[in-house]
Amino acid sequence: MPELPEVETTVRGLARYLDGQRIARLILNRPDLRRPFPAGLVQHMTGARVTGLGRRAKYGLIHTDRDQTMIFHLGMSGRWRIEPDAIEKHDHLVIETGAGHILALNDARRFGSVDLVETKELDVWPRFAAMGPEPLGEDFNPRHLRAAFAKRTAPVKQLLLDQRIVAGLGNIYVCEALHRAGVSPAKQAGRVSRRALEMLVPVIKAVLGESIAAGGSTIRDYAQPSGELGYFGAAWQVYGREGEPCACGGTVERFTQGGRGTFWCRQCQK
């Protein structure tokens, strides 16, 4: 599933073609993705001007001058294609701008979604209302984690993946950040030291920033809107590297937490 860096990269790629543009046509080539497209989506978006693009957690936001925001989630296999040579079978939503740009939301597995929400209601939209702070924002800091982790016996990795504590962190980047910070993913969150938290927060921000700069991570289906792959996978230190040597001299191991594979090195992560 595309994680925060992949969604941020997607939003930045779309902004070059959509920001400030009038939507001349919005075409739906099927009635649904994971769930039905919003009623009236075509009517509300056709003729609207895009006033900005953004991201909340792993959702992309397309704001319009009609005080409504189209929200998209890429699911497992979703991606946007810019200026495609032809519309393909899995291009389920197509936007044509007044300047003649064509952007197609392609989703072969159809686990993605599209919603239409009043812009002023975004913070209370059910899927956003309970989310924690953005990991790249100022509200995500060691003080916030200390409060969220206090007296918690759950593993630190599981709490970092809890969207109520921090919005948008996914498995790849939590594994990488915990490794860089030298924190065991199995450590009880309430036992993580103040010093470790002081290190963990900037490390999380750095890992996400580096991945965004590299266009994200491509595992299977993800590609940037330009068609390029994401290259951060070349920088993974533990994720997907079970049995390989760690930089510390140890060996990368894998175990399952909450149904997800966790990659770590027991020699340097305590």
Gap between the Cα atoms of 51 and 164, Å rounded: 29
pLDDT above 50: residue 221: no
Helical axes 4-18 vs 194-213, angle rounded to 10°? 40
Structure tokens at 152: 């918690």
Task: Report, as an integer, the average pLDDT of 200-212.
Answer: 96
Tokens 């497209």 belong to: 37
Helical axes 142-149 vs 194-213, angle rounded to 10°? 120
Catalytic residue (one of 152, 187, 205, 260): 260
Q: Global pTM?
A: 0.92
Residue 58 falls in the annotated catalytic set? yes
Q: Which domains does the chain have, with CATH numbers?
A: 4-129 (3.20.190.10), 142-264 (1.10.8.50)
CB count in 10 Å sphere of residue 130: 9
Residue 210 falls in the annotated catalytic set? no
Residue 3 falls in the annotated catalytic set? yes
Residue 187 falls in the annotated catalytic set? no
Task: Report, as an integer, the average pLDDT of 229-255.
Answer: 89
Element at 115 (helix H, strand E): strand 113-118
Catalytic residue (one of 3, 8, 134, 176): 3
Q: Quick: pLDDT tens for 60-116.
A: 999 999 999 999 999 988 999 999 999 999 999 999 999 999 999 999 999 999 999
Gap between the Cα atoms of 219 and 198, Å rounded: 31
Structure tokens at 119: 């812009």
Task: Report, as an integer, the average pLDDT of 236-261.
Answer: 96
pLDDT of residue 188: 98
Q: Quick: pLDDT tens for 48-74.
A: 999 999 999 999 999 999 999 999 999
Catalytic residue (one of 55, 56, 58, 157): 58
Amino acid at position 219, single letter: I
Q: Quick: pLDDT tens for 128-173.
A: 999 999 999 999 999 999 999 999 999 999 999 999 999 999 999 9
Work out whether strand 91-97 and strand 68-73 pair parallel, antiparallel, or are unpaired.
unpaired
